[in-house]
Structure 1
Amino acid sequence: MSIMNDSNLAPFLQHIAHCHTARLPGTRRPFYCEQIQIGWVDPRIFSALGELRLETGDGFGVPHGSDLQNLGAELACRELYRPHHELFDVSTLDNRVLGQIDRGALPLLGLTAQGVHLNGLVRKESGLFIWLGHRSPHKRLDPGKLDHLVAGGVCAGIGPLEALAKEAEEEASIKADLIAQAKPVATIRYAMERPEGLRRDTLHCYDLYLPEAFVPEPADGEVEFFKLLPIEEVFSLVRDTQKVKFNVNLVLIDLFLRQNLFSPSDAAILRAALNAS
């Protein structure tokens, strides 16, 4: 049953619009690898790529996928971004892996990143609850914001399910036999302007129904603590505040839609906005 009225739809649409701020190409130029366009280059690194003799007719590029990692290292040496020291796969639209590059270089080159998000759910007699994490104040991105029970990037060489299991163990001490029960529920894409550059993210979203007795424990310092909240309270947090991390809002809106928390007419509007890419 719907728990909102039509006049309150705007905040949810604003969260979605906030993650769809990129207008391509804008001032960016194409980035190629093996003559395939895979990204959009930030103007801040035009001169650096020119000095590296990577300019093509209409943009920039590298001849081989094996050149990507060295390019990322060179851009970090020039202090054009802060490296994460974590490699991500760089793929074509048909998911052929071309090579790897430091995660921090992805936005400067406008390359697509893969991530996983888990709705940690608990069904009680009083209703549906969801675990949220409070991000560490020392996080580089959105410190102190509310986050999912498990969320993270898909690093090089593994797929979303492996990444989910890895992040679940590291972030919330969830064992493999429990995380194996998670169900894929949605794929969300967006292109967003950020201070670090262009985020072109693909989020693989999962639901996991947890026992009432389960209590997650922060394991790697990325989360300060976890809280179990009624879904109605989480709904209000998304609607009325800016306390939730930007892309977590999108995954939660998808959850609210699947839990029928919107009227049918509002749900149709939100689904169309959420699926725009």
Structure 2
Amino acid sequence: MGPIGAPDASPPPLAGAPARRYTRPMPDPALARHIAACNNIASPAGLIPFRMGGAQVGWVSPDLAQALTFRPRDFHFDGDGVGLAARLRSPGARSEALAAALPSLAAGGFLRIRNEAFDLRATSTGPVLGTLDRGALPAFGAMSQGVHVNGLVRRADGLHVWVGIRAKDKAVAPGQLDNVVAGGIPAGLSAEECLVKEAAEEARLPPTLAATARPAGRVSYVMSNAEGLRRDVLHCFDLDIPEGITPTPGDDEVERFELWPAARLLEAVRATDGIKFNVNLVLIDLFLREGMVADPDGSLRAGLDQGPD
């Protein structure tokens, strides 16, 4: 078969019959645009591999690599890129070397320090090779992992979804819609442990309820932005929130929570840009699993898994 939208290699029509074009059904472009926006870099051309313990964990810009040459004791260069010195054999030693480099890199405008350590891995399920401040992950093109929870209420008139309205002073996506619970996974925590913590902090949901959330899969993407390269893996969970329980803000992340019919939320994804960029992907995954959108050629599903393994 030819490319999407091209005529299929179908048998010729019978003599005297009108010519007919056969085309593959297309996915909804209003949904596909969000996937494309989160995967806006075709290849890492121009970036330099970054390694730890012999495994590649990220990509750095030539300018950042140049800055690392001023720390030759900890960062070594060869034909395969830049890596932490081989003498740094333990995750703790690697973490210390990275942390020591960050103040000068931040002063040089390469990153901002957020004082929250994230685990560094070559793959999402691989061993922890070290830790790095969350604010430095994009500059090093290192994988970040997070949890996103769909808060679901099933009623006679259909599925409803709890959404958070992000605070207007947030640095990222101010005032936009978010999942009921979402957050990056700090060093040392599992996705499930992070979920329970974030549910209490962000939405004041009791741990006994949060622990009933069901793993629903994952989405991943690679996005180039002003901070560097975001290589994100989002672990998706579905949580049934009983009638009578209302999420309430527990910190400054969101202003309020609202319960939306899923059909209204789908229309917002399709027709607006009012939803946080990566939350669109989590919701498209939900809509696919709930049978609310068609994916005739499988490209929407495939598009949700373009990031790290």
TM-score, scaled relative to structure 1: 0.92
| Aligned equivalents of 2:231, 2:294: Cα separation in 1 | 30
| Aligned equivalents of 2:238, 2:152: Cα separation in 1 | 7
- Equivalent residues of 1:124, 1:212 under 8 A apart: no
| Aligned equivalents of 1:72, 1:122: Cα separation in 2 | 44
Give the match's secondary structure for 1:247.
helix
| Corresponding position: 1:249 with 2:280 | yes
| Corresponding position: 1:154 with 2:185 | yes
Q: Of 133, 141, 163, which residue of structure 2 is paired with 1:102?
A: 133
> What does 1:253-268 align with in structure 2 at a 5 Å threshold?
253-263=284-294, 265=296, 268=298
1:82/1:264 CA distance change after superposition, 3 Å: closer
Identity %: 43
| Corresponding position: 1:9 with 2:38 | no
| Aligned equivalents of 2:103, 2:188: Cα separation in 1 | 19
| Aligned equivalents of 1:190, 1:223: Cα separation in 2 | 24
| Corresponding position: 1:20 with 2:34 | no
1:203/1:125 CA distance change after superposition, 3 Å: same
1:3 counterpart residue number: none
2:214 counterpart residue number: 183
1:80 counterpart residue number: 110
- Equivalent residues of 2:166, 2:253 under 8 A apart: yes
| Corresponding position: 1:31 with 2:50 | yes
| Corresponding position: 1:62 with 2:92 | no
| Aligned equivalents of 1:44, 1:225: Cα separation in 2 | 41
| Aligned equivalents of 2:63, 2:169: Cα separation in 1 | 26
Tell which deviates more after alignment, 6-15 or 160-169: 6-15
- Equivalent residues of 2:165, 2:178 under 8 A apart: yes
- Equivalent residues of 1:172, 1:216 under 8 A apart: yes
Q: Of 203, 207, 212, which residue of structure 2 is paired with 1:172?
A: 203
| Aligned equivalents of 2:62, 2:295: Cα separation in 1 | 43
| Aligned equivalents of 1:225, 1:259: Cα separation in 2 | 26
RMSD in angstroms over aligned alpha carbons? Answer: 1.7
2:238 counterpart residue number: 207
Note the C-alpha offset of 1:24.
2.9
The alignment of Structure 1 onto Structure 2 pairs a total of residues equal to: 271
| Aligned equivalents of 2:254, 2:176: Cα separation in 1 | 10
Note the C-alpha offset of 1:80.
2.4
2:70 counterpart residue number: 51
1:92 counterpart residue number: 122
| Aligned equivalents of 1:37, 1:225: Cα separation in 2 | 41
Tell which deviates more after alignment, 14-23 or 175-184: 14-23
| Aligned equivalents of 2:43, 2:140: Cα separation in 1 | 13
Deviation by residue 1:140-176 (Cα, 9 ceiling, x = unmatched)? 2121111000000000111100111111111000110
| Corresponding position: 1:236 with 2:263 | no
| Aligned equivalents of 2:128, 2:203: Cα separation in 1 | 30
2:11 counterpart residue number: none
| Aligned equivalents of 1:42, 1:19: Cα separation in 2 | 20
Note the C-alpha offset of 1:217.
0.7
Q: Which one has the largest radius of gyration?
A: 2
Task: Kindly indicate which of the two structures has a greater share of residues assigned to helix.
Answer: 1
TM-score, scaled relative to structure 2: 0.83
Tell which deviates more after alignment, 114-123 or 44-53: 44-53
1:133 counterpart residue number: 164
2:61 counterpart residue number: 42
Note the C-alpha offset of 1:7.
7.8
Which amino acid letter does the alignment assign opposite residue 102 of structure 1? Answer: D
Note the C-alpha offset of 1:49.
1.1
| Corresponding position: 1:194 with 2:194 | no
Q: Unaligned stretches of 5+ in structure 2? A: 1-24, 89-93
Give the match's secondary structure for 2:238.
strand
Note the C-alpha offset of 1:55.
4.3
| Aligned equivalents of 1:263, 1:39: Cα separation in 2 | 35
| Aligned equivalents of 2:129, 2:102: Cα separation in 1 | 14
- Equivalent residues of 2:27, 2:296 under 8 A apart: no
| Aligned equivalents of 1:35, 1:18: Cα separation in 2 | 32
Larger relative contact order (CA 8 Å, sep ≥ 6): 1
- Equivalent residues of 1:73, 1:102 under 8 A apart: no
